[in-house]
Amino acid sequence: MLSTYCLLDRGQCTIEELFKKKGGSKSATEIKYSTIDSAAASIPEANLAVISVNGAFAAREARKALENDLHVMLFSDNVSIEEEIALKQFAHEKGLLMMGPDCGTAIIGNVALCFGNAVRKGNIGIVGASGTGSQEVSVRIHDFGGGITQLIGTGGRDLSEQVGGIMMLDGIKALEEDEATKVIVLISKPPAASVQEKVLAQVKSCKKPVVVYFIGGEETSVLEAGGHFAKTSKEAAIKAVVLAGANEDELNKRALNWPLIEEVRAKLTSEQKYVRGLFCGGTLCDEAMYLAMDKYEDVYSNIQKKADYKLKNIHESKAHTFLDMGDDDFTNGKPHPMIDPSTRIARFLEEAKDPSVGVILMDFILGFGSHEDPVGVMLSAIMEAKANAAKEGRHLEILGYVLGTDLDTPNFDEQVKKLMDAGVTIASSSTNAGLLAREFVAKGE
């Protein structure tokens, strides 16, 4: 049986060759297959299937792909956890990658699949149980001069008690065997304790340096396993590029702008003491929320782990509120806000009317699969909100973070300029966005 690494390595060449055919003849680009079986038979060199079908059929199609010795990226959600476990166990036995279900981001052979960003090749591999978290770390690695070998997505439930981290463990093994990968980065929202133990046990036995970014995680256990702990996404990227050979003294770490913080604090009234975060990216929301929780008690969200601070009504914010608008609460029967931002626009205009709000924080995600102009569709609402606040004699601080690289489409600099021209303050990273937001509204400091 071929190892996971051998299959992955073979897949890199296959994927790159197939994508190069995009500009070829119509006959090469318009072939359609009615089943996975017929596609696999007609393209014997292919060994990866990206599946996005209704959840009722997703597990069936994924199993067909695995039976055809294809790695699987399963974008579909609404797959039962029992089906997920069965698929991942089957893939593990066959030495295949089973990325998903609900896997939104991967980079295989320098090709971004589903949601992803254009980043340079390098020597850092990522295994991520979080789509936008993986995007953010890959983009920051690019920003700090590094590059990516592979970004293997696992799906958001992989590190749950039930699934047991099957895909993350296989992903670590694949990257450990990959000669091009010199450093491994692990990314997840808070994993189940027992699963974290299994992952850290594999980190301990891994022959390559491993950076562990588990949001809200605890440092001691990572260090005891010989890993490199990262509290934030930016710290994860910095540690990865330094371990991969970069000179830390030469990095522009984009330190927090304290003069700007003092300037914004002076514009806000004593009543304006709350942050409202409206996010397309779930992990970006998580990071900002956890940074706020380091400073404040009254931090609410639709994705809060603390029951007392989980919003009872997602349509009503209270105190500091951070909303993952890509969560099922908001997307049931609707497109993800990275594709259709209408729900976020409406919520933004409501939050902007609240006189207790000092800062509204938003992410704008560029790259493959995202809206063609995520900033442009928000501009009229931003200008309307700022004008209404000014009429009421208050300053409304809008803080934006554009997740993207200089290689992305739409153009990163143009998106940033649109926001700045509309009076939006720009954060240089997800980490800095969360830190700036919490510090802007701090009183008596």
> Whole-number mean pLDDT of the chain?
92
Identify the pLDDT of residue 303. 94
Cβ neighbours of 177 (radius 10 Å): 16
CA-closest candidate to residue 67, choices 52, 81, 86: 86
Q: What is the pLDDT of residues 381-425, one digit of tens each?
A: 999 999 999 999 999 999 999 999 999 999 999 999 999 999 999
33 band by pLDDT with thresholds 50, 70 and 90:
confident
Q: What is the pLDDT of residues 336-377, one digit of tens each?
A: 898 899 999 999 999 999 999 999 999 999 999 899 999 999
Only one residue has tokens 């799906």, namely 155
Read off the pLDDT band of 32 (50, 70, 90).
Answer: confident
The answer to whether 165 touches 198, Cβ cutoff 8 Å, is yes
pLDDT at 193 over 80: yes
Check residue 248 and give its pLDDT. Answer: 97
CA distance 410 to 130: 23
DSSP symbol at 313: S
The rounded Cα 118 to chain-centroid distance in angstroms is: 14
Confidence of residue 317 (pLDDT cuts 50, 70, 90): very high
Write the pLDDT tens digit of every residue in 248-281: 999 999 999 999 999 999 999 999 999 999 999 9
Can you tell me the mean pLDDT for 110-121? 94
**CA distances in angstroms from 215 to 24, 117, 206, 413, 431, listed in the order given:** 44, 21, 22, 29, 12
Residue 8 CB: number of other CB atoms within 10 A? Answer: 25
Identify the band that residue 30 occupies on the pLDDT scale cut at 50, 70 and 90.
low
b (16+ CB within 10 A) / e for 87-113: bbeebbebbbbbbbbbbbbbbbbbbbb
pLDDT value, residue 12: 47
- How far apart are the two ends of the chain, measured CA to CA in Å? 63
Angle at 444 between CA 440 and CA 445, to 5 degrees: 65
Choose the weakest-confidence range: 73-77, 95-99, 226-230: 73-77
List Cα–Cα distances, 428 to 97, 252, 291, in angstroms: 33, 11, 16
What is the pTM for the complete model shown? 0.92
Residue 308 has pLDDT above 70, yes or no: yes
